[in-house]
């Protein structure tokens, strides 16, 4: 056991070597980096932010389902595998935190690699960090994150049981000269997604979850393919194929609404709940449709 994860670790090393080349090219072409705002004066946020106030508009009608325990295999196997995966993900997170492959590297406060259970059955992938995530270096910790937590709980899972990441690892801003402004978020563009693609692909390959849930059109199109609209991708499982790495076992992906979209359009929640129930059905989570 462990050889698959070791193969992935080798793959990761090859990827890191390739990235050095990209970094060299970026340094050799400084005009690209100079086109964006100067880097924030510090990469760390002084002091920690107070916890987000609970927002009553986040109260949702996702029913709560009971959690199920994962099937047990040999304890020793699980421990070794987990250590390998944790090491590979930590190494990758370090690379992400010092990444300057695209201009977002110059304007972020903190890169947001992702977090969660390395042996998760379910992985959620959003589009990119927002204001709060940029400050905390953690995915989905703002208002949309509070709703995502409720969606996860409604599935009968805890946040600690799943892995949460984004397509883009740094905060895309409409006005990078004013990172302190609220409402300054935008979706990552094609160049930023291309620069970050290998990171999310490596994360998925290392974790190798049973199901990926793509949150919103950006994540769905990046991972499944551009079928025109989120609606064309929702409502069915797709076999996940990655560009840069081969998966050790088949991973299914399903698309649903981004929690931020659900905050804006609460009447889409019932459709999102249908999507989540499709995954719950497959995992045998209680509370799924009969
Ligand atoms: N929106 C996202 O897509 N990701 C986050 O981490 C937060 C908000």
Instruction: Provide the CATH number for the domain around residue 241.
Output: 3.40.470.10
pLDDT at residue 82, as a whole number: 85
Q: Does the pLDDT of residue 157 top 80, yes or no?
A: yes
228 burial type by CB count under 10 A (0-12 exposed, 13-18 middle, 19+ buried)? exposed
Report d(CA 119, CA 123) in Å as an integer.
10
For residue 208, what pLDDT is reported? 97
Mean pLDDT of the chain: 82
Counting ligand 1 atoms within 8 A of each CB, the residue from 52, 145, 221 with the most, and so the one to mutate, is 145
Q: Is the pLDDT of residue 120 over 60?
A: yes
> For residue 215, which atom of ligand 1 is closest to its CA?
3
Please give the average per-residue pLDDT across 258-282, as a whole number: 98
Centre of ligand 1 from the C-alpha of residue 215, in Å:
9
Q: Whose CA is nearest to atom 7 of ligand 1?
A: 140
In the predicted structure, residue 22 carries a pLDDT above the cut 50: no
* Residue of 129, 135, 143, 169 to test ligand 1 pocket, by largest number of atoms within 8 Å of CB: 129
For residue 198, is it within any domain?
A: yes
Tens digits of residue pLDDT in 62-104 = 544 444 444 556 877 777 788 899 999 999 999 999 999 999 9
Task: Give φ, ψ of 134 to 5 degrees.
Answer: -60, -40
Tokens representing 240 are: 């996940």
Distance 212 CA to ligand 1 centre (A): 15
Contact between 168 and 128 (Cβ < 8 Å): yes
Task: Give me the number of domains the chain comprises.
Answer: 1
Q: Which of 33-37, 170-174, 221-225 has the lowest mean pLDDT?
A: 33-37
Ligand 1 atom having least distance to the Cα of 144: 8
Q: Is residue 216 part of a domain?
A: yes
Tokens 């995992």 — which residue?
A: 283
Ligand 1: residue of 113, 115, 128, 138 to mutate (most ligand atoms within 8 A of CB) is 128
pLDDT, greater one: 55 or 86: 86
- Given this model, what pLDDT does residue 14 score? 63
Instruction: State the pLDDT confidence band at 32, using cuts at 50, 70 and 90.
Output: very low
Whole-angstrom Cα distance, residue 116 to residue 160?
6
Q: Which of 112, 127, 134 to mutate to test the pocket of ligand 1 (most atoms within 8 A of CB)?
A: 127
pLDDT reported for residue 221: 97
Predicted pLDDT of residue 39: 36
**pLDDT-derived band at 16, boundaries 50, 70, 90:** low
Higher pLDDT, 67 or 145: 145
How far, in Å, from the CA of 80 to the mean position of ligand 1? 31
62 within domain boundaries: no
Binding pocket residue ranges, ligand 1, CB within 6 Å:
126-130, 133, 139-140, 142, 144-145, 166, 260
Measured in Å, residue 183 CA sits from the centre of ligand 1 at 13
Strand order from edge to edge, sheet including 122-126? 115-116, 163-166, 122-126, 211-215, 252-256, 238-239
Query: Is residue 150 included in any domain, yes or no?
Result: yes
Q: Which domain holds residue 201?
A: 75-283
69, with CB counted inside 10 A (0-12, 13-18, 19+), is exposed
Question: Does residue 25 lie in a domain region?
Answer: no
Nearest atom in ligand 1 to the alpha carbon of residue 138 is: 6
Q: 256 vs 176, 220, 262, 272, CA distance in Å?
A: 29, 8, 10, 6
Does residue 251 lie in a domain region? yes
Distance 166 CA to ligand 1 centre (A): 7
CA of 213 to the centre of ligand 1 (A): 13
Nearest to residue 113, comparing CAs of 130, 96, 98?
Answer: 96
**Residue 59: inside a domain, yes or no?**
no
Task: Kindly state whether residue 255 falls inside one of the protein's structural domains.
Answer: yes
15 pLDDT above the threshold of 60: no
pLDDT at 60 exceeding the cut of 50: no
- For the segment 190-219, the average pLDDT, to the nearest whole number, is 98
Average pLDDT over residues 124-148: 98
Query: Are the C-beta atoms of 272 and 260 separated by less than 8 Å?
Result: no
């Amino acid at each position: 056991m462990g050889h698959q994860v070791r193969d992935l670790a080798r793959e990761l090393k090859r990827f890191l070597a390739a990235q050095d080349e990209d970094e060299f090219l970026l340094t050799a072409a400084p005009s690209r980096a100079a086109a964006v705002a100067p880097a924030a004066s510090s990469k760390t946020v002084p002091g920690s932010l107070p916890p987000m106030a609970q927002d009553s508009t986040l109260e949702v009608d996702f029913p709560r389902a009971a959690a199920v325990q994962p099937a047990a295999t040999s304890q020793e196997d699980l421990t070794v595998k987990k250590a390998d995966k944790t090491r590979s993900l930590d190494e990758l997170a370090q690379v992400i935190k010092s990444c300057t492959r695209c201009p977002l590297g110059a304007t972020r406060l903190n890169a947001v690699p992702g977090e969660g259970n390395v042996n998760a059955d379910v992985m959620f992938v959003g589009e990119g960090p927002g204001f709060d995530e940029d400050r905390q270096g953690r995915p989905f910790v703002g208002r949309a994150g509070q709703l995502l937590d409720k969606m996860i709980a409604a599935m009968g899972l805890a946040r600690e049981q799943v892995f949460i990441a984004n397509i883009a690892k740094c905060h895309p801003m409409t006005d990078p000269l004013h990172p302190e402004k609220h409402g300054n978020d935008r979706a990552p563009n094609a160049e930023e997604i291309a620069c970050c693609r290998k990171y999310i692909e490596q994360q998925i390959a290392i974790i190798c979850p049973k199901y990926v849930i793509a949150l919103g059109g950006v994540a769905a199109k990046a991972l499944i393919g551009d079928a025109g609209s989120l609606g064309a991708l929702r409502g069915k499982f797709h076999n996940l194929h990655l560009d840069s790495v081969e998966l050790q076992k088949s991973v299914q992906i399903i698309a649903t609404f981004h929690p931020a979209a659900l905050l804006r359009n609460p009447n889409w929640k019932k459709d999102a709940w249908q999507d989540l129930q499709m995954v719950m059905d497959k995992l045998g989570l209680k509370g799924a449709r009969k």
